[in-house]
C-alpha cells in the first residue's frame, strides 16, 4: 500500500474492526474515541482479532504496535491518506465528528462513513470544507472478517474519490459493491430487511417458530447464498436454460408468493414473541462459544472461496 496512515474516528465494534484490518494490511493507524476506556477496549479488540487476521494473511510490516490513540479526531485525521468515520449513528453526533474530520484531514483523503442508514448526501452537508470527498463505506460485522463493504457516493462526491475508495478497500481484501443510487439502508440491509420482514410475518401468523425459520435458512438456501448470490443461484436452478427457464416456469408462482408476503408491524407483542423465540432457540447454548465457532467457520469459508473461481 502507498504511504500515509489510516484514521479511525469512533472505535466501537465497527471502528475497532476497521482499525484491526488496517493494521493487518501494514498501515499505520491513528484512532480516536472520546469514551472513557476507549483506548484499552480498542487495543483489546485488536488483540482478539489478530489471530483470525494472521490466519488470513498479514501484510509485510503488519503490527498492532503501529496503532496510535490520539487525543482528538482532528489529530487522528491530520495527514491521513484515508479517514474512516464510525461514530454513533445519530445526525447530531455525525455532524460534530464529520465537521472536525473535514477540517483536519488533507484535501486528498477520502472521508468514508461507516453509516448503515444515513444518506451520504446528508453527510456531505455536514462537511462544508470538502463535501466532494465524503461518501459512505458501510461494512458488515465482524468488519475485519466479512469482505463486503458498500460504497455509496453522495450527489457531490467526485468520481476520483469513489475510484480511490474502491481501490483502497480492494487492497484491504474487501469486496466493495458500488451503490449507484442513494436509498435508505443502502443495498444489503434492504435485502436483509426483506427477509426479516417475512420471517417476522411467519412468526406472527403462527406459520413457523423462530428456530424453524433459522433452520430453514441456515440449512437450506443460506448455504448456497454464502457461495453465490441469490440471482446466480436462481440462474443455476434453471439448468441449461438458466435464468430464462427459471423465470418462465417459476415466475408466475413466485409472483403469487411475493404478492402474499406479509407486512408485519413490530408491535410490542410481536417483538416479545421474537425475543422469546430466540431465547428458546438458544436455551443452554454457550453464546460466546457459538460466536467463536461461527467466526472460525467464517475464516474457513473465506479461505476456501479465495482458492476458488466463484464470482
Average pLDDT over residues 279-297: 94
Is residue 278 domain-shared with residue 134, that is, in the same domain?
no
Is residue 143 domain-shared with residue 253, that is, in the same domain?
no
Q: Which residues contact 249 (CB under 8 A, 6 or more apart)?
A: 238
* 123-129 CB contacts, 8 Å cutoff, 24+ apart: 123/94, 123/98, 123/154, 124/154, 124/155, 124/156, 124/157, 126/94, 126/95, 126/98, 126/99, 126/102, 127/98, 127/99, 127/101, 127/102, 128/99, 128/102, 129/102, 129/103
Q: Which residue has the cell 498492532?
A: 64
Is residue 158 domain-shared with residue 263, that is, in the same domain?
no
Average pLDDT over residues 286-307: 93
Is residue 85 domain-shared with residue 139, that is, in the same domain?
yes
Is the residue at 234 inside a domain?
Answer: yes
Q: What's the pLDDT tens digit per position in 213-272? A: 999 999 999 999 999 999 999 999 999 999 999 999 999 999 999 999 999 999 999 999
Boundary residue ending a domain (128, 158, 178) = 178
Q: Which residues contact 18 (CB under 8 A, 6 or more apart)?
A: 6, 8, 84, 86, 114, 139, 143, 144
Is residue 195 domain-shared with residue 158, that is, in the same domain?
no
Quick one: pLDDT at residue 148? 97
Q: Give the CATH number of the domain where residue 264 resides.
A: 1.10.1040.10
Range 209-228 burial, b when 16+ CB lie within 10 A, else e:
ebeebbeeeeeeeeeeeeee
What confidence category does residue 99 fall into, taking pLDDT thresholds of 50, 70 and 90?
very high
Quick one: pLDDT at residue 311? 80
The vertex-93 CA angle with 91 and 97, nearest 5°, equals 115
Q: Give the CATH number of the domain where residue 162 resides.
A: 3.40.50.720
Q: What is the pTM of this model?
A: 0.93
Q: Which of 243, 245, 207 is CA-nearest to residue 228? A: 243
Is residue 165 domain-shared with residue 301, that is, in the same domain?
no
H/E run at residue 29: strand 29-32
| DSSP conformation class of 98 | H
Count CB atoms within 10 A of the CB of residue 120: 26
Quick one: pLDDT at residue 246? 94
Quick one: pLDDT at residue 48? 94
Is residue 162 domain-shared with residue 28, that is, in the same domain?
yes
Domain range enclosing 126: 6-178
Q: Which of 89, 80, 128 is CA-nearest to residue 108? A: 80
Is the residue at 104 inside a domain?
Answer: yes
Q: What's the pLDDT tens digit per position in 148-173? A: 999 999 999 999 999 999 999 999 99
Q: What's the pLDDT tens digit per position in 42-87? A: 999 999 999 999 999 999 999 999 999 999 999 999 999 999 999 9
Cis check: omega of the bond before 59, within 30 degrees of 0: no
d(CA 34, CA 32) in angstroms, rounded, equals 7
Q: Which of 19, 119, 25 is CA-nearest to residue 69? A: 19
Boundary residue ending a domain (178, 204, 235) = 178
In a 3-state reduction of DSSP, which class is residue 39? helix
Domain count along the chain: 2
pLDDT at 4 over 90: no
Is the residue at 183 inside a domain?
Answer: no
| DSSP conformation class of 37 | T
Average pLDDT over residues 140-154: 96
Is the residue at 84 inside a domain?
Answer: yes
Is the residue at 301 inside a domain?
Answer: yes
Q: Which residues contact 176 (CB under 8 A, 6 or more apart)?
A: 148, 149, 150, 151, 165, 166, 169, 170
Boundary residue ending a domain (160, 178, 196) = 178
Q: Which of 30, 183, 163, 15 is CA-nearest to residue 105? A: 30
Is the residue at 196 inside a domain?
Answer: yes
Is the residue at 138 inside a domain?
Answer: yes
Q: CA 156, 159, 165, 167: dihedral to nearest 10 degrees?
A: 170
What confidence category does residue 310 fall into, taking pLDDT thresholds of 50, 70 and 90?
confident
pLDDT at 25 over 80: yes
pLDDT at 285 over 80: yes
Is residue 31 domain-shared with residue 167, that is, in the same domain?
yes
Do the beta carbons of residue 150 and residue 26 sit within 8 Å?
A: no
Is residue 201 domain-shared with residue 225, that is, in the same domain?
yes
Do the beta carbons of residue 158 and residue 110 sit within 8 Å?
A: no
- How far from the centroid of its chain's Cα atoms is residue 131's Cα? 23
pLDDT at 3 over 90: no
Q: What percent of the chain has pLDDT over 70?
A: 99
Is residue 283 domain-shared with residue 195, that is, in the same domain?
yes
C-alpha cell at 57: 494473511
Is residue 19 domain-shared with residue 122, that is, in the same domain?
yes
Quick one: pLDDT at residue 2? 54
Is residue 137 domain-shared with residue 196, that is, in the same domain?
no
Is the residue at 118 inside a domain?
Answer: yes
Quick one: pLDDT at residue 157? 97
Q: What's the pLDDT tens digit per position in 107-131? A: 999 999 999 989 999 999 999 999 9
Amino acid at each position: 500500500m502507498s504511504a500515509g496512515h489510516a484514521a479511525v474516528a469512533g472505535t466501537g465494534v465497527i471502528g475497532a474492526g476497521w482499525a484491526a484490518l488496517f493494521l493487518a494490511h501494514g498501515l499505520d493507524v491513528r484512532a480516536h474515541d472520546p469514551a472513557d476506556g476507549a483506548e484499552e477496549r480498542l487495543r483489546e479488540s485488536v488483540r482478539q482479532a489478530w489471530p483470525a487476521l494472521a490466519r488470513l494473511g498479514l501484510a509485510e510490516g503488519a503490527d498492532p504496535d503501529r496503532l496510535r490513540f490520539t487525543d482528538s479526531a482532528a489529530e487522528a485525521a491530520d495527514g491521513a491518506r484515508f479517514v474512516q468515520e464510525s461514530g454513533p449513528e445519530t445526525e447530531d453526533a455525525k455532524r460534530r465528528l464529520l465537521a472536525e474530520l473535514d477540517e483536519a484531514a488533507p484535501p486528498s483523503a477520502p472521508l468514508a462513513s461507516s453509516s448503515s442508514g444515513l444518506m451520504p448526501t446528508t453527510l456531505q452537508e455536514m462537511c462544508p470544507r470538502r463535501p466532494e470527498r465524503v461518501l459512505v463505506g458501510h461494512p458488515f460485522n465482524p468488519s475485519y472478517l466479512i469482505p463486503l463493504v458498500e460504497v455509496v457516493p453522495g450527489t457531490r462526491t467526485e468520481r476520483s474519490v469513489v475510484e480511490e475508495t474502491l481501490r483502497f478497500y480492494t487492497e484491504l481484501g474487501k469486496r466493495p459493491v458500488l451503490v449507484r443510487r442513494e436509498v435508505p439502508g443502502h443495498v444489503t440491509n434492504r435485502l436483509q430487511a426483506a427477509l426479516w420482514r417475512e420471517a417476522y410475518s411467519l412468526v406472527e401468523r403462527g406459520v413457523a417458530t423462530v428456530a424453524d425459520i433459522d433452520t430453514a435458512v441456515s440449512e437450506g438456501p443460506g448455504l448456497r447464498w454464502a457461495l453465490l448470490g441469490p440471482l446466480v443461484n436462481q440462474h443455476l436452478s434453471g439448468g441449461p436454460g438458466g435464468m430464462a427457464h427459471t423465470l418462465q416456469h417459476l415466475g408466475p408462482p413466485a409472483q403469487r408468493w411475493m404478492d402474499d408476503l406479509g407486512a408485519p408491524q413490530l408491535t410490542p407483542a410481536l417483538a416479545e414473541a421474537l425475543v422469546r423465540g430466540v431465547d428458546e432457540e438458544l436455551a443452554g447454548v454457550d453464546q460466546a462459544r457459538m460466536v467463536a465457532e461461527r467466526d472460525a467457520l467464517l475464516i474457513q469459508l473465506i479461505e476456501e472461496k479465495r482458492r476458488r473461481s466463484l464470482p
